[in-house]
């Protein structure tokens, strides 16, 4: 294992910080020290997605079976006879969920609300998929196979929960405030401010696109800058995220999805010698 790889990926059993915790008990026939976690990349994705704390658990999953009719053979006369065979349903390899961190404050700026996220790895389903795939030479004993599915699950879980929070997690108060801000920006761009009605100077006109975007972006930046400085980051809060949009943080959600697609969060490491550099 190279020094660069060693510094970025930590064996899963030691991959714990104050914000990220992996609680995954690997089967005894799998070398857990060969499954590495990129904590730095995970922290980055969490910050982008508005996730304050992340916990990844390995859980035993159900393996539901259902009976379906199938043609089992033919008689001498060529007539088919049917029976029922049990077919295993494909379960997801992970489940995820989030809760808003701290007390429920509906008027707190959306950019200053953070979530605690849990990703549950379906160990039985992952094991079953590994067993049914020929590409893993060592089967369920292969650290590469487990790391492959862990990487998929963590990436998809972070992307799913982060996007849901950034784009759809606003309170009713913040949704209304965002809508009013953007409508007012459009009105100002068209010189149709409600104040002009009372001043008898109501002369609306279709604004140029560059003028419209200028007003929208400028006002959004001002709102977000105000929130950024108002909600200071300290030991008790993560502060406010910066976004080009006041309201649904679509820009951050897009960055999160791209980075989740391109980053490797869990991978198989080269075997360690007896004198392991990782803490006991």
| pLDDT block averages, 10 residues each, the chain of length 280 | 62 95 95 96 96 95 52 54 55 93 80 94 95 90 96 97 95 81 60 51 56 65 75 68 86 96 95 52
Q: What is the pLDDT of residue 177?
A: 77
Which residues are 71's β-sheet partners? Answer: 82
Q: What is the pLDDT of residue 2?
A: 47
Q: What is the pLDDT of residue 24?
A: 96
Q: What is the pLDDT of residue 67?
A: 46
Q: What is the pLDDT of residue 154?
A: 98
Q: What is the pLDDT of residue 25?
A: 94
Q: What is the pLDDT of residue 246?
A: 80
Which residues are 121's β-sheet partners? Answer: 58, 94
Q: What is the pLDDT of residue 228?
A: 73
- Non-local (6+) Cβ contacts of 66 within 8 A are 86, 87, 89
Rg (CA), the chain: 26
The pLDDT tens digits for 40-96 are 999 999 999 999 999 999 998 755 444 445 555 555 555 555 555 555 557 899 999
> What are the helix (H) ranges across the chain?
3-8, 39-49, 123-131, 143-168, 172-189, 194-198, 209-230, 250-262
Q: What is the pLDDT of residue 83?
A: 53
Token pair recorded at residue 175: 């949704």
Q: What is the pLDDT of residue 55?
A: 97
């Amino acid at each position: 294992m190279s020094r660069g790889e060693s510094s970025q990926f930590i064996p899963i059993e030691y991959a714990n910080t104050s914000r990220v915790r992996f609680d995954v008990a690997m089967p005894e026939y799998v070398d857990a020290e060969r499954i590495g976690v990129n904590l730095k990349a995970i922290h980055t994705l969490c910050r982008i997605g508005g996730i304050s704390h992340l916990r990844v658990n390995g859980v035993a999953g159900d393996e539901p079976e259902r009976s379906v009719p199938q043609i089992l053979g033919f008689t001498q006369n060529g007539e088919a006879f049917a029976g029922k065979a049990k077919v295993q349903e494909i379960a997801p390899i992970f489940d995820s969920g989030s809760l808003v961190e701290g007390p429920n404050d509906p008027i707190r700026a959306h950019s200053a609300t953070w979530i605690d996220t849990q990703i549950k790895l379906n160990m039985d389903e992952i094991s079953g998929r590994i067993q049914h795939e020929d590409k893993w030479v060592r089967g369920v004993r292969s650290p590469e196979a487990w790391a492959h599915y862990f990487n998929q699950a963590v990436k998809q879980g972070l992307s799913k929960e982060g996007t849901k929070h950034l784009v759809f997690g606003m309170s009713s108060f913040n949704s209304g405030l965002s809508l009013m801000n953007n409508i007012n920006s459009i009105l100002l761009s068209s010189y149709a401010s409600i104040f002009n009605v009372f001043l008898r100077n109501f002369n609306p006109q279709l604004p140029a696109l560059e003028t419209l975007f200028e007003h929208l972006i400028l006002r959004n930046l001002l709102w977000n800058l105000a929130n950024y400085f108002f909600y200071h980051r300290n030991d008790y809060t993560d502060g406010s995220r910066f976004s080009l949009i006041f309201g649904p943080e679509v820009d951050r959600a897009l960055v999160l999805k791209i980075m989740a697609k391109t980053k490797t969060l869990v991978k198989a490491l080269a075997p360690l010698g007896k004198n392991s550099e990782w803490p006991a």
